A and B are shown apart, each in its own frame.
Chain A
Amino acid sequence: MNEITCKCGHVNPEGTELCLSCGRALSESAENRKTADVMRYEGMARRSQTYNLSIIDKIWNFFSSVKVGVWLIVITLIASSLGTIFPQALFIPNGTENVYYEERYGIAGKIYYVLGFHDLYSSWWYLLLIGAIGTSIIIASLDRVIPLYKALKHQRINRHESFMKRQRVFSSYSIESPEKSIAQIKERLLKKRYRIREEEGHLLAEKGRFARWGPYINHIGLIIFLIGGMLRFVPGMYVDENMWIREGETMAIPGTGQEYFLKSDGFTVETYQQGEDSEVFNNTIEREGAIAKNYQTDAHLFKREEGSIAGQQGELVEIQQGAIQVNQPFKFDQFALYQVDFRQDEYSSMSFNLTEKASEESVGSFTIQFDNPEKVYELDNGYSVELTEYYPDFSGFEDGEPQSVSPIPNNPAFLVRLFSPENPDGEVAFIGIQRNLEPLGENDYALEFAGVETRDVSGLTVRKDLTLWILGLGGAVFMIGVVQGAYWNHRRLWLKKTADGRLLAAGHTNKNWFGFRKDLEYAFETTGLDKPKDHQEENLNKKESADAKEENNRDSTS
């Protein structure tokens, strides 16, 4: 370690810019840079500014740079915006990614898809960016907070004149009794709740130092938040399942390991009605038509009791019942059920009559429950119908074979064999909605549509998220830190009585110089002295008055 010995005799660690004891500038660079830049971290030695030899030093230095941090933020910002040009894959119909973008948006859409922007926020490079920001937050904070803490903890009261002169707020007064003025200022500053420390007639007044910790606290909050975000990928922390449950149906809730079951009493949609709801809505209802008021599934929750023998399934016991509504999830254990979707009037069953074509007389009827279609429907007098094949969502024929696109009975169709005493081998028919084919020739009997039953289906999301409290904690810590850093200021005033009897006053604040100047005005009011000059303000005013003079000259000449 190359230690630096200051003129005042204090030994400072390598890399220190301002002497820890008296505040003299220790390097040429500290001498030449703007005071605000040196004062930011109190002129302390920072690891990133001191070592640059090993690979670890280089990585550390890279991530500790605010410049790098800002670039990471800006790149993430731009990348994020790219993802909103076209809808992300999760907002478009499932499985259509490869054609959707090109069909809709042409060549631009194709490029978007090929570059992977359709799934930007889970791409490896986006996650890498977030990771890099996280790393930068940790390293940049550590690089600064430790030296800053040390510097502020061991602040000396008596500072060298050169340190004071370099401050933005500084004045030197030649007065009879500096002690008296110092005492007056002290009294005033105490009223403003400054903390005062004195040493051999010198004074340091300080206020709001804890504001300096704000940035580091909010960074801790962000790190906690990011950790919470990563924990989602730990098995058991997070459940994201969907379920479609029909009126009257009881089914296991996915993601609960067959432990919980849900029974639906039915699904309700309500819309706003003129005359029924407040009259102030009439115009909007007229303009927009039906506006949804409520989506609701009434449900019972059951829990499977422990079986007395391992592997044996226990009884279902009802433990809760209630409504699942948008904005009012149904909570149990660590889970929550959300009303997210619905299908109204799904076919639940269809009834048919078996009719003799010639006489148009029915010889029997039966009902197919789509939940549980039977293999054979026995009718009286030797008639029966065999359900050879069931196509719940019939979409047409492919190579002569009927196709079904989903297991949902949107467009049910059946291949049946009709048995009658005349045709003991059965006649083949293909029936569906407004469809009756007889592929193997004219039949004697036909199925006649006799009625349909429908019911509503609720689309629910099953959610368990054990990371929420960590995210909440991260958010809370962030908010505390950011408020602490933004709404408070660290203000300091140094007063020094020089050997030749002058009074020196220097001030520094990390921000809000306007407020600081007001404090100074108040503090110096009783001394009869002008408040210490803000040199930045001063320079500007000089420039201003020069401008104004010039303007006046111009006015008078023209």
Chain B
Amino acid sequence: MTQLVSISSTLLYAAFVLYLIATVFFAGSIKSKKHTNQTGKNKWATIAIIITIAGFVSQLGYFITRWIAAGHAPLSNLFEFITFFGMMLVAAFIIIYFIYRTHVLGVFALPIALLVIAYSSMFPRDVSPLIPALQSDWLAIHVSTVAAGEAILAVSFVAGLIYLLKDVDLTKRGKQRFWLEAVLFTLVIVVGFIVSTTAGSIAGYETEFSYVNPEEQTETAQFALPALVVPHQAELLTEGQFATSLEMPSIVNASRLNTVLWSILTGTALYLILRLVTRKSISALLQPLVKRVNLNLMDEIGYRSILIGFPVFTLGGLVFAMIWAQIAWTRFWGWDPKEVWALITWLFYAAFLHLRLSKGWEGNRSAWLAVIGFAIIMFNLVAVNLIIAGLHSYA
């Protein structure tokens, strides 16, 4: 069984590499001089989509082998859930690709899937047994449907991003230019998180503190990166390790805040280097990739993926969620933060649909809404799990 787990990890790694290669081919397909419309048959794109599918099959292999090895659906902790979300993102992209045949979507969707999968692997990757609350068939049903719904909705973010990169005038100062760059900067921060966490774990860095928690008990906290901030009434247990004297209040998880600070520092450094070297904003760097994009089509892809994703998300995130909550937690709804944020996500996309259907919010506005929607999904995925502790606190 442990062998199966290692096979599973290898398959995931292979999928990651394949997605990376496929991205390169997609990039080649839109650079191809022969195909100016960026749709339809194109040798580069054909190779790219084949590699993408190979990667997806490999990741599916990871999922199945891990399921067999663990004896339960590998959707029970943050690593497993986010990885699955990445896989669904690729699946959603493949489906949309075969409907619309837009190569440029691959250039942006795959890197985001790569970022998601890399992000997930920063969390403990061990196969963990199920606590009683998770021992139910609804684990597989509810969690996979939510991930699929959110992934389809995320395609609208990709389409929206492409739309904005082309549509927003980068030669003039303005709110849109600023926020577009801010969105891309956030993605660089995620890269910063991955880089700094990986560096810390390769170096085997560990600092330990004892501190006083809000219940006035003494506990220990592990820091995987040099401590820029220290916990409440902290005492350094590992001598000689770096630590500042910036003490946090007891309600703040200093170890996580420290990781966030390192991610922002690393991300900002990467961003500044990029800007200094290229003398361009990231938006301007990416804009040549999208200059031949059909805006109408991007708008339509974004809208279509929300139309497809919204019912799936409702089913997984609200309907199945309520059924399981009634079985496991005695009530179908209990205002747990994760539940509330699922409701917020749902309300947001409902507002999107009403604005689009009745107020004619198309194009630019619709693209911005898609970006905000993705931000809400990510907030629920990342922040609610790590900052606001509730019943859903995995990992």
Contacts and interface: CB of A to CB of B under 8 A. Distances in A.
12 contacts: A34-B360, A66-B354, A67-B359, A73-B354, A104-B251, A280-B127, A281-B129, A283-B126, A284-B127, A461-B330, A471-B322, A540-B294
B44 interface: no
A544 B330 CA distance: 58
Contacts of B182: none
A36 B360 contact: yes
Interface of A, helix, strand, loop or mixed by DSSP: helix
Contacts of A327: 132-133, 135-136, 327-328
Contact of B347 (A80, A294, A482): A80
Contacts of B350: 73
B314 A479 contact: yes
Interface stretch (A81-89, A346-354, A404-412): A81-89
Interface of B: 1-2, 5, 69-71, 100, 124, 126-129, 131-133, 135-136, 214, 249-251, 291, 294-297, 300, 303-304, 307-308, 310-311, 314-315, 318-319, 322, 326-328, 330-332, 334-335, 337, 340-341, 343-344, 347-348, 350-351, 354-355, 357-360, 384, 388, 390
Given A73-B351, A475-B322, 19 more contacts: A66-B359, A67-B359, A77-B347, A91-B390, A278-B1, A278-B71, A278-B129, A280-B1, A283-B126, A283-B127, A287-B124, A291-B131, A327-B136, A327-B328, A465-B326, A471-B332, A478-B314, A479-B315, A479-B319
A81 B388 CA distance: 12
Interface in A455-496: 461, 463, 465, 468, 471, 475, 478-479, 482-483, 486-487
Contacts of A240: 331
A487 B359 contact: no
Interface in A528-558: 536-537, 540, 544, 551
A363 interface: no
Interface of B, helix, strand, loop or mixed by DSSP: helix
A287 B129 contact: no
A70 B361 CA distance: 12
A293 B307 contact: no
A338 interface: yes
A278 B145 CA distance: 27
Interface string A186-223: 00000000000000000000000000000100000000
B358 A66 contact: yes
Given A338-B330, A482-B314, A37 B360 contact: yes
Contacts of A106: 249
B135 A77 contact: no
Interface stretch (A244-252, A372-380, A511-519): A511-519
A77 B348 contact: yes
A481 B360 CA distance: 21
A468 B327 contact: no
Chain A, interface size category, equals 35 or more
B314 to A, nearest CB: 6
Nearest to B383: A84
A36 B133 CA distance: 50
B314 A88 contact: no
Contact of A479 (B126, B129, B311): B311
A482 to B, nearest CB: 5
A206 B304 CA distance: 21
A433 interface: no
Q: Which 3 A-B pairs rank lowest in CB-CB distance, beginning with the nearest?
A: A326-B132, A66-B358, A284-B128
A514 B297 contact: yes
Contact of B335 (A83, A284, A329, A336): A83
A130 to B, nearest CB: 11
A512 B308 contact: no
A281 B124 CA distance: 12
Nearest to A69: B354
A322 to B, nearest CB: 16
A70 B354 contact: yes
